[in-house]
Structure 1
Amino acid sequence: MFKKRHTRIGARPGTLVISKESPRPVVRGIFYNRQSYDERPVEDLDQLQEAFQAETVAWVDVQGFGDRSVMNKVGEVFHLHPLLLEDVVNVPQRPKTELYGDQLLIVVRMVRLKDSDEASRYRVDMEQVSIVLAENYVITFQERYGDILDPVRKRLKSGKGIIRGRGADYLAYVIADTIVDGYYPVLEAVGNDLEAMEDEVIRNPSPDVLGELNTLKNQLINLRRAIWPQREAINSLVRGDFALVDEDVRVYLRDTHDHCIQTSEVAEMYREMATGLMNTYLSSVANRTNEVMKVLTIMASLFIPLTFMAGIYGMNFEHMPELHYRYSYPMLWAVMTLTSIAMLYFFWRKGWIGRG
């Protein structure tokens, strides 16, 4: 479950709320055009804009929010609106697209599978990525180190494809598209887990299985909550009147929007599948309970007439003719045995025992 860090009541707009767990910001810059590529860490933010050239597209990647002064300096260097910087730092925000002057903020949600140990088998790591698009640069912000954008960096470095010959809007599209495509392996892993659990739910409906199903269902709910507004954010880029996004880039964004719709439908399908498995689990548990109750009921029913007979002849009356008859004891055993056999035969004819 996501817990948003709220600013103090009455705080001025643009107040940054930074988690103490967030690492110190690490800033890297990639500067490229069709002929050149330059990637380097950025130590001095004041010199960052000097690296910009008219024919160069820049990608500034900021990972970690742990130093307020660095974040404020980034905002100062790039003239970021205070509300834009607040949305970047105060995570998680709802995926959205907002225009701030000559800068466009795109908020998306990146997902990854955590390490597949027993404690986190079904855990999905989810993190906000904020993309700031301007005329000739893109800034990406994320709260923690590490992402799924290495394929984009490799494409830029190798120069393959058309990415180095396009503008900043195309780079923003590629980043957003890569993040959206990152939902597929996560959903595939969740789907494989659900399929593997189908037989287990029927054969061994243990409480551990129910706990795993419940965790999966909650993860799928969180995924759907992230994907649904992400559809709207990408759709606004396709249909919105943003001068920063060229018409030919919108064609590619339509494909990204289709991927959002597809992942949303898959997440919903898996959520319904998890709900169905939980219902199957409850039915299996109920059936097993009914089987136990049936056995106990049959055993109790068998002993009712036997207890009745034993109770009669266990009374302490003096005048009971059967007590003085020589064959009373074996006859009582014979009657009790025949009664039990007759009752078992009756249960069998009714299909209550011996018929699977």
Structure 2
Amino acid sequence: MAKAETVGKRAPLKTRRPPVGASPGTLIADPSARRSELRLTLISPEKFETIENASIDDLNTHCDSWPVIWLDCTGLANIPLIEEIGRIFSLHPLALEDVVNTGQRPKVDFFEDHAFVVVRMIDDVTAHRYEQIAVFFGKNFVITFQEREGDPFNPVRKRIESSMPNRLRSRGADYLAYALIDAIVDSYFPPIEAAGEQVDSIEDQMLNMPHKHQMRQLHELRRDANVLKGVLWPMRDALATMIRNDVSYVKAETKIFLNDTLDHSLRLIELVETQRDMLTGLIEMHLSLSQARTNDVISYLTIVSVIFMPLTFLVGVWGMNFDPDSSPWNMPELKSQYGYPASLLFMALVAVGLVAFFKWKKWL
């Protein structure tokens, strides 16, 4: 979620598709895709090893000698590299096509010896930019594909590097995949909670004094909530599918932890739905307060006009050019010694009387 006053144009969720009529599984890189870099993490219960800027040769050397390997590919510009990774691990070509065609709906697909999971994370809160992360995992490997640098996986990496006994080193690839997906799901909590605090702040400001910029903030936040809803609901469905499916490379004990992640996704959905309802109510309240304020202004202007109408009438009557010398009925007040202060006093009494009448009627 974002600060509505400082954001510019947001990055829409776009899906790059292959040309119409192209063969299924055709991989075409986005011209704006980042350069591909590999990070290889080798994991066993006793030790681990991380190879930065890894190559295909490193992958071929170590992929069969460690209990679990995690290959993280950042950037999707190198199509031959992605195809070679797919060949080494026998990844389904349709899944690889979804990897490079970013903007996919969160989902999970099960194949004979591996699963393919698509999730989305908030890449840049201020710019409203989301990033697709594709996760493949099988019996002894996990492969993640990211569009660009920056991810919520640092806690997972620290747990792998920890010398203390931990599940990430002693359990299989399915548990590592769960940990990565769980990190992505939990990364939604801070921005959603920050948006909730912003909604509460706007509500307090509106109760004191509504302003035009608050309406823009509310619409920005509601649009963010709608986007989050479109991401979180299919993510929940994907997690539920992972729990229900019975495949050999997803252990029963891992499904227990996946069920906890599913609970987190449901909690996120509840938060977003609550915020959407609050934002809808605040938008309606802002419109009502603005209309009420306009009505108050019109009422005050009307009262002022009503007060001055008889005064204007009196001034107009006394301002006519009558000659009291020609007839005693031609405005004799014009020659009165105290005519001017008497007329001002009379008009003041009329104005005070009208104000008192309005207060008695509770119009003021």
Structure 2 residue 159 is the aligned partner of structure 1 residue 155: yes
- Seq. identity, %: 36
1:315 deviates by: 4.4
Structure 2 residue 200 is the aligned partner of structure 1 residue 195: yes
Structure 2 residue 155 is the aligned partner of structure 1 residue 126: no
1:182 deviates by: 1.1
1:332 matched residue in structure 2: 343
1:136 matched residue in structure 2: 140
1:202 deviates by: 2.1
Structure 2 residue 211 is the aligned partner of structure 1 residue 227: no
Q: Contact between 1:25 and 1:65, CA under 8 Å: does it hold in 2? A: yes
Q: Structure 1 residues 180, 3: closer, same or farther in 2, change over 3 A?
A: same
Q: Secondary structure at the match of 1:339?
A: helix
1:107 matched residue in structure 2: 118
Once the two structures are superposed, the pairs formed by residues 237-252 of structure 1 within 5 Å of their partners are 237-252=242-257
1:295 deviates by: 1.5
Q: Contact between 1:42 and 1:48, CA under 8 Å: does it hold in 2? A: no
Structure 2 residue 330 is the aligned partner of structure 1 residue 321: yes
Q: Secondary structure at the match of 1:66?
A: coil
TM norm structure 1: 0.90
Distance 2:342 2:296 in 1: 34
1:117 matched residue in structure 2: none
Once the two structures are superposed, the pairs formed by residues 15-164 of structure 1 within 5 Å of their partners are 15-53=26-64, 55-111=66-122, 114=125, 120=126, 123-160=127-164, 161-164=166-169
Q: Secondary structure at the match of 2:35?
A: coil
2:281 matched residue in structure 1: 276
Q: Secondary structure at the match of 2:139?
A: coil
Q: Contact between 1:169 and 1:244, CA under 8 Å: does it hold in 2? A: yes
Q: Secondary structure at the match of 1:91?
A: coil
Q: Secondary structure at the match of 1:145?
A: coil
Distance 1:26 1:204 in 2: 52
Distance 2:160 2:85 in 1: 24
- Give 1:136's aligned amino acid: N
2:9 matched residue in structure 1: none
Q: Contact between 1:113 and 1:186, CA under 8 Å: does it hold in 2? A: no
List alignment gaps of at least 5 residues for structure 2.
1-11
Q: Contact between 2:40 and 2:50, CA under 8 Å: does it hold in 1? A: yes
Q: Contact between 1:108 and 1:129, CA under 8 Å: does it hold in 2? A: yes
TM norm structure 2: 0.88
2:363 matched residue in structure 1: 352
| Aligned match for 1:209, one of 207, 210, 214 | 214
Q: Contact between 2:322 and 2:331, CA under 8 Å: does it hold in 1? A: no
Q: Deviations over 1:249-286 (max 9, x none)?
A: 11111111111111111111111112222222222222
1:42 deviates by: 4.4
Distance 2:240 2:333 in 1: 97
Aligned-pair Cα RMSD in Å: 2.1
2:15 matched residue in structure 1: 4
Which piece of structure 1 moves more, 310-319 or 240-249? 310-319
Aligned length: 346
Q: Deviations over 1:197-245 (max 9, x none)?
A: 2211222322222212211111111112111111110000101122221
Q: Secondary structure at the match of 1:321?
A: coil
Q: Contact between 1:28 and 1:39, CA under 8 Å: does it hold in 2? A: yes
- Give 1:105's aligned amino acid: F
